[in-house]
Amino acid sequence: MSLPARLGTLLAAFLVVVGGAIFVVIHYLLGGPPTVDYAAGVTPDSGHVVKVYLQEDPQTTIGNRPDWVSYFIQDPKTHKWVHTTLFQVPAGSTIDVTILGYDGCTPLRNPYWGKVTGTTGNVEYVNGKATPVLNSWGQCSVGHTFSIPGIGLNVPVASPTTLAANNSLCSTSPCTSGPHTTVTFSFKSPTTAGSYFWQCRVPCGLGYLDGFGGPMQTIGYMTGQMEVVS
C-alpha cells in the first residue's frame, strides 16, 4: 500500500473512532429524556382545558436503561407512552391529569404527604371516587406521589390495594394491562412561564440509602419538570 493510501486509511479509521465517541457522548451522556408537548396549538391564559396522561410502573423495561420504578408520559399526538418526566403545558390553563397507578403500595415516610393539596376542590378521584386524603400507613393504598412544590400541589397516587393484585403487577413497561388504579384531578397552571420541578415523595428507590437514590433523583423516573409556556 502506498504512503498516501495508508495515511488515508489511518485518517478514515481515526474519524470513525472520533465519530463513535461523539455519538456515545451526545446520545448516552448528554441526551436527556424528551419533553412531551401539551402546549402546542393552545393559546396560553385562554382557560383552555389540557388533558395530561401519566402512568407509574413497578419497573422500566426500556432498552439498556436502569430497571427502576418509573413514570411515563403519553404523547398527545401519537398516544405513545414516552419514558420521560418532562412535559410542557400552556400558562393559565386548566390541567386535567389522569395517572394510571400500576405500581404496588409503599408507605409514605410522612403521612402528611397522603393529603391532596393544590387541586380543584383539594381532592383527587380514585377510580371515579373523590377523596381528600389517602392513608398509606393504615392500608396498602399509595404507589407514588405526583408533587409540584412550587404551586403547592400534592397528589398521592393510589395503588392496587389487595395482596393478590400487588403480587401480580404489570411486568413490562410501559404497562398496558394488569392491576391498576385510575387517578384523576385538575389544577390551574401558573400564569407565569417557567420550569416547575416535580417529584415523587414515596421513598421508592429500592436498594438505595433510605430509598431516596436511583429513580428518586433521576430525571425520567421519579423526578421531572413541568415547563409552563406563555
- Binding stretches for Cu ion (CB under 5 A): 144, 200, 202, 204, 222
> C-alpha cell of 36?
412531551
Least separation, in Å, of the C-beta of 40 and Cu ion? 28
Least separation, in Å, of the C-beta of 144 and Cu ion? 3
> C-alpha cell of 150?
412550587
Q: What count of residues does the chain have?
A: 230
Does a cis peptide bond (omega within 30 degrees of 0) precede residue 174? Answer: yes
Least separation, in Å, of the C-beta of 60 and Cu ion? 12
* C-beta closer to Cu ion: residue 48 or 109: 109
* C-beta closer to Cu ion: residue 52 or 200: 200
Q: How many whole angstroms separate alpha carbon 158 and alpha carbon 166?
A: 12
CB environment 141-153: b (16+ within 10 A), e (fewer) = bbbbbbbbeebeb
Least separation, in Å, of the C-beta of 102 and Cu ion? 12
**Residue carrying C-alpha cell 381528600:** 132
Least separation, in Å, of the C-beta of 51 and Cu ion? 23
Q: What are phi and psi of 166, to 5 degrees?
A: -70, -20
* C-beta closer to Cu ion: residue 144 or 180: 144
* C-beta closer to Cu ion: residue 36 or 222: 222
* C-beta closer to Cu ion: residue 190 or 203: 203
Which residue's CB comes closest to Cu ion? 200
